[in-house]
Chain A
């Protein structure tokens, strides 16, 4: 069956809806990387066995991660007439009891996290479930309180490999809408009005980037999704792609239509093997039904996507180094200007965006840029996905409106583990430095974080009172040393020398003048480095010297 117009999408959606509001019982098991590491595969297998044993009319599906990593494996149960119940820590041993209870039409209260009575999708359609008493609603579940799920709207809900289920939640309606009624300029205006800024860390206005690419005349243009995720503090992009890969693809297609591209690449980190597999399977499915390839939905728009694997370097997340890698060249950054939107892949206009940025696009098109901009604050519109890790009580992935205070995100994560006190935290990735605990009132805001010499990256790492900040600084400098491509002198030589000083300090052989020397390097190395990796290299050192000087002082000799 080839999809020729919106009616085809609607037909698929109807099929998908049958799965999301099934007539029989449906069990879903969170099977992204975090779930699998906690035994979700065993849970899935045992569920299938127990269901067969007890002759229960039920199905089991593997879904993605809903962000509640601390309580994996997560199993959700939809029984007709009852609420959808979300259970946590459902190890294989607890499955037999679960199946028995579900068969009886009851709930295991001590294992249940919360209930859901209603889902509303992007296109306004809803799915209603029953109302089961005695369990808190999802809106009252602390880790979820304050979250707004746009990028993660389908994470943990749908079968990531099902085009029908994706369509049921409003998927591909945005694409159908722009193909039938909109012009590229109108699409870009919508994205501009949303205020969306790049989610990879640099925060460049997405609409402006696309506009530059559209306005650069060229016979060939490209769209590239950056998922090289070399940051040491997140595995979250992997989880996003494994949970809702079609969201990325649809976002890229809308970008391609907007700028006039017909070819796209998804560049994934070498460790994202399962994400790459899922993407490849779905690209095959979409091509077979005509949603990728020539003349999509009967229009002039054609688009193909290829998935490419990086060889594992952090620097390949830098967009020009990424383009060099795609071209088969050395993985080193290029001089800028010219910028990729004007002259990118093979010299053609190319839009390179982070996967998270693309995952916002279908929602923006379907519900409007103004709707998106209603979340967040001036200059920082929309939502952000954050992976909270380190010394937190609950490791989890959240999606919150920009402007949310960091301390509220910490609350979702249950505060510091073991009720210790917070010493510092990192919000801007390895180049974002470490901020002191008193700064937790800062909002997730591009400008305000920029003023604090940090950035809005994808992970929030909490560090408790026992953290040695000099060793943390050394950890980050070692990271930069290992990931420096070696092209430019300041980063290649400088990172090694800074590391040498930190090693002296850690061994208690610090000398007077060491800290001043390190701080004096910051300006020149920032000025002369060829790319952001070198420019931000000294941030972990200068921020810890500024905010945690005592940790250093005690290591300096007389």
Chain B
């Protein structure tokens, strides 16, 4: 029987967390980094099965920028542990979009761990959940520092004679999704005030919106 010796994890939570960390590693380096991290974690675990605590300790001992990257992975997990997901599922009566909305409210995006956990607890396949998230304009798979909502309604578009909405849209689309997330609303219901744009939920004059976005993107 020729099978590589399987790394020993204390529980599935630790195994999961480790695989989340590996996912954050650039593709080309995955094969090299994985055994190295396993070795380090094993050391922290004193040679025994690797626990979540051992992994956290290992992260602390890493240099930057790896340390911050892995710390983010650990933090994302905290937001939604299995008990929290279980409560959400019960509260929403198993209504998947409703559960997603709840998670969006809390975290502004839906972490992969949450999807995995929901799949485990409801029996709905991860693939289908992924489909629902990527075809639902209300859901997001990654968090962004800022969110810009443009009213892409016909009324606002017609009224926008200087095409400012177009300019702002181009600014944001050219930027990294990690920094600014663009949402296009279809008629926010206050057409009299159009053309409209919001940054992080706050409605501002279009020239102010443009200036603020330019400021974020400059860093």
Which of B131, B138, B161, B192 has a CB less than 8 Å from the CB of A466? B161
Inter-chain contact A37/B95, CB cutoff 8 Å: no
Inter-chain contact A479/B155, CB cutoff 8 Å: no
- Show 23 A/B contacts (Cβ-Cβ < 8 Å), sorted by A: A33-B190, A34-B189, A37-B189, A69-B191, A69-B192, A232-B154, A233-B187, A235-B189, A239-B189, A271-B188, A308-B97, A311-B132, A311-B139, A328-B96, A387-B191, A390-B154, A390-B159, A459-B155, A461-B155, A462-B158, A472-B157, A472-B158, A475-B154
Is B153 at the interface (CB under 8 A from chain A)? yes
Give the contacts of A300-340 with B (CB-CB under 8 A).
Answer: 308-314, 325, 328, 330-331
Task: Report Cα–Cα, A230/B191, bound state, in Å.
Answer: 15
Give the contacts of B136-194 with A (CB-CB under 8 A).
Answer: 136-139, 152-155, 157-159, 161, 184-194
Inter-chain contact B187/A232, CB cutoff 8 Å: yes
Is B100 at the interface (CB under 8 A from chain A)? yes
Is B98 at the interface (CB under 8 A from chain A)? yes
Interface-central residue, B124, B132, B159, by most chain A CB under 10 Å: B159
By a CB distance below 8 angstroms, the chain B residues around A69 are 190-192
A69-B192, A232-B157 given; name 19 further pairs at CB < 8 Å. A33-B188, A33-B190, A37-B203, A72-B192, A230-B186, A232-B186, A270-B101, A270-B138, A311-B132, A311-B135, A312-B138, A313-B135, A313-B136, A325-B97, A330-B131, A389-B158, A389-B194, A390-B154, A459-B155
The closest CB in chain B to the CB of A475 belongs to B157
A-B residue pairs, 6 tightest by C-beta: A235-B189, A311-B136, A389-B155, A37-B190, A312-B137, A233-B154
Task: Report Cα–Cα, A258/B86, bound state, in Å.
Answer: 40
In angstroms, how far is the closest chain A Cβ from the Cβ of B26? 30
The closest CB in chain A to the CB of B155 belongs to A389
The closest CB in chain A to the CB of B166 belongs to A471
Inter-chain contact B187/A234, CB cutoff 8 Å: yes
Task: Knowing A308-B95, A485-B135, say if A231 contacts B187 (CB, 8 Å).
Answer: yes
In angstroms, how far is the closest chain A Cβ from the Cβ of B193? 6
The closest CB in chain A to the CB of B95 belongs to A308
Task: Knowing A309-B98, A311-B97, say if A235 contacts B136 (CB, 8 Å).
Answer: no
Task: Report Cα–Cα, A25/B155, bound state, in Å.
Answer: 38
The closest CB in chain B to the CB of A395 belongs to B192
Interface-central residue, B154, B159, B190, by most chain A CB under 10 Å: B154
Is A120 at the interface (CB under 8 A from chain B)? no
By a CB distance below 8 angstroms, the chain B residues around A330 are 131, 135
In angstroms, how far is the closest chain A Cβ from the Cβ of B141? 13
**0 or 1 for each of B93-109: is its CB under 8 Å from A? (1 = yes):** 00111101100000000
Inter-chain contact A467/B158, CB cutoff 8 Å: yes
By a CB distance below 8 angstroms, the chain A residues around B152 are 232, 479
By a CB distance below 8 angstroms, the chain B residues around A310 are 97, 138
By a CB distance below 8 angstroms, the chain A residues around B138 are 270, 310-312
Task: Report Cα–Cα, A70/B194, bound state, in Å.
Answer: 11
Is A49 at the interface (CB under 8 A from chain B)? no
Task: Report Cα–Cα, A36/B212, bound state, in Å.
Answer: 24
By a CB distance below 8 angstroms, the chain A residues around B187 are 229, 231-235
Task: Report Cα–Cα, A178/B192, bound state, in Å.
Answer: 41
Task: Report Cα–Cα, A445/B191, bound state, in Å.
Answer: 25
By a CB distance below 8 angstroms, the chain A residues around B203 are 37
In angstroms, how far is the closest chain A Cβ from the Cβ of B130? 12
In angstroms, how far is the closest chain B Cβ from the Cβ of A97? 23
By a CB distance below 8 angstroms, the chain A residues around B186 are 229-232, 314
Interface-central residue, A72, A230, A389, by most chain B CB under 10 Å: A389
Residues of chain B whose beta carbon lies under 8 Å from any beta carbon of chain A: 95-98, 100-101, 124, 131-132, 135-139, 152-155, 157-159, 161, 184-194, 203
Is A391 at the interface (CB under 8 A from chain B)? yes
By a CB distance below 8 angstroms, the chain A residues around B188 are 33, 37, 235, 271
Inter-chain contact A461/B158, CB cutoff 8 Å: yes
By a CB distance below 8 angstroms, the chain B residues around A233 are 153-155, 187
Task: Knowing A311-B100, A475-B157, say if A70 contacts B136 (CB, 8 Å).
Answer: no
Give the contacts of A1-44 with B (CB-CB under 8 A).
Answer: 32-34, 37-38
Interface-central residue, B124, B155, B191, B194, by most chain A CB under 10 Å: B191
Inter-chain contact B132/A235, CB cutoff 8 Å: no
Task: Report Cα–Cα, A387/B187, bound state, in Å.
Answer: 11
Task: Knowing A231-B186, A233-B155, say if A37 contacts B193 (CB, 8 Å).
Answer: yes
Task: Report Cα–Cα, A462/B154, bound state, in Å.
Answer: 10
The closest CB in chain B to the CB of A429 belongs to B154
In angstroms, how far is the closest chain A Cβ from the Cβ of B17? 29
Task: Report Cα–Cα, A430/B154, bound state, in Å.
Answer: 8
Is A477 at the interface (CB under 8 A from chain B)? no
By a CB distance below 8 angstroms, the chain A residues around B192 are 34, 38, 69-70, 72, 395
Task: Report Cα–Cα, A462/B139, bound state, in Å.
Answer: 33
The closest CB in chain A to the CB of B196 belongs to A37
In angstroms, how far is the closest chain A Cβ from the Cβ of B114? 16
Inter-chain contact A309/B137, CB cutoff 8 Å: no
Is A249 at the interface (CB under 8 A from chain B)? no
The closest CB in chain A to the CB of B193 belongs to A37
Inter-chain contact B137/A313, CB cutoff 8 Å: yes
In angstroms, how far is the closest chain B Cβ from the Cβ of A428? 11
Task: Report Cα–Cα, A310/B153, bound state, in Å.
Answer: 18
Is A482 at the interface (CB under 8 A from chain B)? yes
In angstroms, how far is the closest chain A Cβ from the Cβ of B29? 34
Give the contacts of A213-237 with B (CB-CB under 8 A).
Answer: 229-236
Which of A238, A426, A466, A485 has a CB less than 8 Å from the CB of B189? A238
**0 or 1 for each of A260-272: is its CB under 8 Å from B? (1 = yes):** 0000000000110
Inter-chain contact A235/B184, CB cutoff 8 Å: no
In angstroms, how far is the closest chain B Cβ from the Cβ of A481? 12
The closest CB in chain A to the CB of B98 belongs to A309
Task: Report Cα–Cα, A32/B158, bound state, in Å.
Answer: 23
In angstroms, how far is the closest chain B Cβ from the Cβ of A432? 11
By a CB distance below 8 angstroms, the chain A residues around B193 are 37-38
Task: Report Cα–Cα, A343/B194, bound state, in Å.
Answer: 42
Task: Report Cα–Cα, A482/B150, bound state, in Å.
Answer: 15
Task: Knowing A34-B192, A37-B188, A37-B193, say if A235 contacts B135 (CB, 8 Å).
Answer: no
By a CB distance below 8 angstroms, the chain B residues around A466 are 161
Which of A38, A229, A331, A459 has a CB less than 8 Å from the CB of B190? A38
Task: Knowing A37-B203, A389-B154, say if A312 contacts B136 (CB, 8 Å).
Answer: yes
Is A345 at the interface (CB under 8 A from chain B)? no
Is A435 at the interface (CB under 8 A from chain B)? no
Interface-central residue, A230, A308, A312, A463, by most chain B CB under 10 Å: A312
By a CB distance below 8 angstroms, the chain A residues around B153 are 232-235, 389
Task: Knowing A233-B187, A234-B187, A395-B191, say if A309 contacts B154 (CB, 8 Å).
Answer: no
Which of B97, B136, B159, B189 has a CB less than 8 Å from the CB of A391? B159
Task: Report Cα–Cα, A328/B131, bound state, in Å.
Answer: 11
In angstroms, how far is the closest chain B Cβ from the Cβ of A160? 15
